[in-house]
Amino acid sequence: MEITEVLYNLVFDYTLRTVAMGSAILGIVSGALGVFAVLRRQSLLGDSVSHTALPGIALAFLLTGSKAPLVMIIGAAVAGWIGTLFVLHIINNTPIKADGALGMILSVFFGFGLVLLTLIQKMPNSRQAGLEKFLFGQASALMVQDVVIMAILGGLSLLLVAILWKEFKMLSFDPEYAVSLGFPTRTITIILTTILVIAVVIGLQTVGVVLMSAMIVAPASAARQWTDRLGVMVVLSGLFGALAGVSGAVISSLTAKLPTGPTIVLCISAIVVISILFAPNRGLVMRAARNYMNRQRLITDAILLDLFELGIQHHDPHYAHPSSTLKVMSITRGNIERSLHNLQEHDFVQEIGEDNWALTESGVRKAAILANRMEEKS
């Protein structure tokens, strides 16, 4: 399919446009809010919230008999919120650590949700099929009204982040300092947790309970590699989330039998892998290149110093030596010849006759500087 056709469909195909917009909103909101979860080492809170939301969805349906998206979202949010408070309470009041508290609450709540789902299934003419989409996500069933609600709730959450920016920042990096300044950290924690819960529940319908956690962790983890500034990280993370959401929606719409939720997750995971490999400062490739260059410089510096030492002993700074001599003196087992040629290119050494190496004028100067520096250090 042509790229123009894809763009055309993105604008004029009702279903694709709705799904893509929903996924984009989900990506922006969960990406931006996920930053705080990841920085506060609560990455798995998203996983817990999405699972604990299930009984809320079921209860909301049991109580109201309605499957309106807002009812479902409120039910999910209340249950997710209560579950999170349980988690925080257990962490603060028992010897059980975060991992145990999260795992237990998510599995127990989810189990209870299953119980409620089977109860609903038994009800006559309940048409509970609509609830299952929350388990595994069904982006293709997104309606415009769903997207509108997602946009409103997501927009409110982002607005709250903007208003409480300073507080959230402090809580993420130095909670003790925030306490000492007299900020109501408990209240701020609860607000932050609440909007994280909202970010999770508005995505449940699109990517489902299991995969929602990835939408919290992955965009933020990718954005973290590119920047050390919180503001940039939040914006980048939202962008990555939106990019993954839209491309996942488009790719799955182009291919038969390709579920949207998992495709979005694979897209955002690809962004994570690219970021981890190629980000300019922290990226693995750049790190390896930096290490390699440092190692090379160490070897060539050592050779210059060796030649310099030999020159002093021979009372002639330009005294030439075969590479085998340098190899004996070398601290590493690196390739001496290659390093010598490298130095020759920079005009620090010259080859005098067959395999006989001497410092040039600039080589002597450079080596003298290095030797000086060594002395200063020792």
Partner 1 sequence: MTPAQIEIQLIAAVVAVACALPGVFLILRRTAMMSDAISHAILLGIVLAFLVTEDLTSPFLIVAAAMTGLLTVLLVEILHKTRLVKEDAAIGLVFPVLFSIGVILIARFAGSVHLDTDAVLLGELAFAPFNRFVVFGVDIGPRSLYLMGGILLINLAFILLFFKELKLSTFDAGLAASLGFMPWILHYGLMSLVSVTAVGAFDAVGSILVVALMIGPPSAAYLLTERLSTMLLLSALMGMVGAISGFWIAHWADISIAGSMATMIGVIFILVYLLSPGRGLLASVRRRVRQKWEFALAMLVIHLSQHEHQPEAVNECRADHLTEHIRWNAKFAQQVVRLAKHRNLIDETDGRLNLTSNGRSLAARKVVG
Beta bridge partners of 349: 359
- To which residue do tokens 């909301």 refer? 60
Beta bridge partners of 356: 322
Footprint (CB under 8 A) of partner 1, residues 87-116: 90, 93-104, 106-115
Q: Is 43 in the site for partner 1 (CB under 8 A)?
A: yes
- CB-CB contact of 190 with 16 (8 Å): no
Residue type (1 letter), 27: G
Distance CA 331, CA 122 (A): 78
Query: Environment class of residue 274 by beta-carbon count within 10 Å: exposed (0-12), middle (13-18) or buried (19+)?
Result: middle
Q: Is 261 in the site for partner 1 (CB under 8 A)?
A: yes
By CB under 8 A, name the one of 2, 3, 257, 353 that touches partner 1: 257
Q: Is 31 in the site for partner 1 (CB under 8 A)?
A: no
By CB under 8 A, name the one of 164, 188, 210, 274 that touches partner 1: 210
Q: Is 230 in the site for partner 1 (CB under 8 A)?
A: no
Taking contact as CB under 8 A, which single stretch among the options 4-12, 186-194, 214-222, 331-339 is the one that binds partner 1?
Answer: 214-222
- CB-CB contact of 31 with 240 (8 Å): yes
- CB-CB contact of 264 with 245 (8 Å): yes
Q: Which is nearer to partner 1, 202 or 326 (CB)?
A: 202
Instruction: Give the closest residue to 274 by CA, choosing from 266, 29, 213.
Output: 266
Instruction: Give the closest residue to 325 by CA, choosing from 311, 315, 346.
Output: 311
Q: Is 183 in the site for partner 1 (CB under 8 A)?
A: no
By CB under 8 A, name the one of 24, 25, 161, 218 that touches partner 1: 218
Footprint (CB under 8 A) of partner 1, residues 264-283: 265-266, 269, 272, 276, 282
Nearest approach in angstroms of CB 257 to partner 1 is: 5
By CB under 8 A, name the one of 52, 157, 213, 253 that touches partner 1: 213
Q: Is 359 in the site for partner 1 (CB under 8 A)?
A: no
- 14-39 and 165-173 are packed helices; what angle lies between their axes, rounded to 10 degrees? 50
Distance CA 160, CA 136 (A): 29
Taking contact as CB under 8 A, which single stretch among the options 46-54, 171-179, 292-300, 356-364 is the one that binds partner 1?
Answer: 46-54
Q: Which is nearer to partner 1, 119 or 331 (CB)?
A: 119
- To which residue do tokens 């002093």 refer? 312
R_g over Cα of the chain = 30
Nearest approach in angstroms of CB 297 to partner 1 is: 23
Nearest approach in angstroms of CB 174 to partner 1 is: 17
Q: Which is nearer to partner 1, 124 or 353 (CB)?
A: 124
Nearest approach in angstroms of CB 47 to partner 1 is: 6
Sign (positive or negative) of CA dihedral 27, 33, 39, 42: negative
Instruction: Give the closest residue to 217 by CA, choosing from 70, 7, 40.
Output: 40
Q: Is 334 in the site for partner 1 (CB under 8 A)?
A: no
Contact set with partner 1 (CB under 8 A): 38, 41-44, 46-47, 51, 90, 93-104, 106-115, 117-119, 122, 132, 135-136, 210-211, 213-214, 216-218, 220-221, 224-225, 257-259, 261-263, 265-266, 269, 272, 276, 282, 284
